[in-house]
Structure 1
Amino acid sequence: MTNETETDRLTRGQAKLAEITGRSGEQVMTALADIAPDFARYIFEFGYGDIYSRPGLDLRTRMLATVAGLVTLGHAERELEVHIGSALNCGATRDEMVETIMQMALYAGFPAALNALFVAKRVFAAREGAPEE
């Protein structure tokens, strides 16, 4: 049993999210404040404070795995967009992102991979300042 408080987990989670995304996550907290403030806290405490902060994988690998998981869901376009950008922030390359998504066609199907490739294309274009097609 650890003596760690929920405040410690929340603080660690917020710091980890900022490291990954470059943003504090206040938008998520604010957006959920009137409907499910505990859910926002769980995202930070468990997701980022506990899981993303574990030492077993580096952030680049964690983000590639996250993108793969989101591709397989086939219905998480908003989250996929955020996590593709986060993977790039954590050192993944565009080629690694495309290969990860293409690999998921075997497990999630071609429509899910195709949709994810279009999300990646938008993220890449936004980062380059190029217009989307």
Structure 2
Amino acid sequence: MNPIDNATETRLQRGQRALAEIDGEAGEAVVRSLADIAPDFATYLLEFPFGDIYSRPGLSLREREIATIGALCAMGTARPQLEVHIRAGLNVGLTREEIVEILMQMSVYAGFPAALNGLSAAKAVFAALDSENGPDEVGSAQDIS
């Protein structure tokens, strides 16, 4: 994704573009889920984290997802968001092995329960992906051998 360089693109448009590139259908589902309860919040979600922060220069999307996966795991209270960002990590080039290592690293700073919960979330995402795509797709079980 290009850093903020298009003066004609609004924050919302930039956020929509970033979300599609990072999270694909999973991110779009989150936005759709807010339509009937908090459509303004969906706009804020697109504009600030994705339109402003994810679109900044300085870190690649891959590096941003490493930080995001680590932070969500450490929080210990954001499993749905962690699962979305584990998928996003795979979308932007992380391997399953790298995601497992990120989550294991959290045991040192966030504790074993947080790391165990993160690994459980990763296992669920990997199983769902294998079920959807088959084991030979990108991000499959062979990546962690």
Q: What TM-score does the superposition give when structure 1 sets the normalisation length?
A: 0.86
Q: Could you say what secondary structure the match of 2:15 adopts?
A: helix
In 2, Cα distance between equivalents of 1:8 and 1:24: 22
Change (3 A) 1:44 1:72: same
Change (3 A) 1:25 1:70: closer
Matches within 5 A, 1:107-118: 107-118=109-120
Return 5+ residue gaps in structure 2 as ranges.
1-6, 135-145
Q: Could you say what secondary structure the match of 1:127 adopts?
A: helix
Identity of aligned residues (%): 60
In 2, Cα distance between equivalents of 1:67 and 1:24: 15
In 1, Cα distance between equivalents of 2:57 and 2:29: 27
Q: Deviations over 1:39-88 (max 9, x none)?
A: 11111001100100011100011001100000011011100100000000
In 1, Cα distance between equivalents of 2:73 and 2:26: 25
- Report what 1:73 is aligned to: 75
In 2, Cα distance between equivalents of 1:92 and 1:84: 9
* TM-fit CA distance, 1:22: 1.8
How many residues end up aligned between the 2 structures?
126
Return 5+ residue gaps in structure 1 as ranges.
none
Change (3 A) 1:25 1:104: closer
Q: What TM-score does the superposition give when structure 2 sets the normalisation length?
A: 0.79
CA RMSD of aligned residues (A): 1.9
In 1, Cα distance between equivalents of 2:124 and 2:29: 21
Q: Could you say what secondary structure the match of 1:104 adopts?
A: helix
In 1, Cα distance between equivalents of 2:130 and 2:81: 20
Q: Could you say what secondary structure the match of 1:53 adopts?
A: coil
- Report what 2:130 is aligned to: 128
CA contact 1:15–1:24 (8 Å) conserved in 2:
no
* TM-fit CA distance, 1:30: 3.5
CA contact 1:17–1:24 (8 Å) conserved in 2:
no
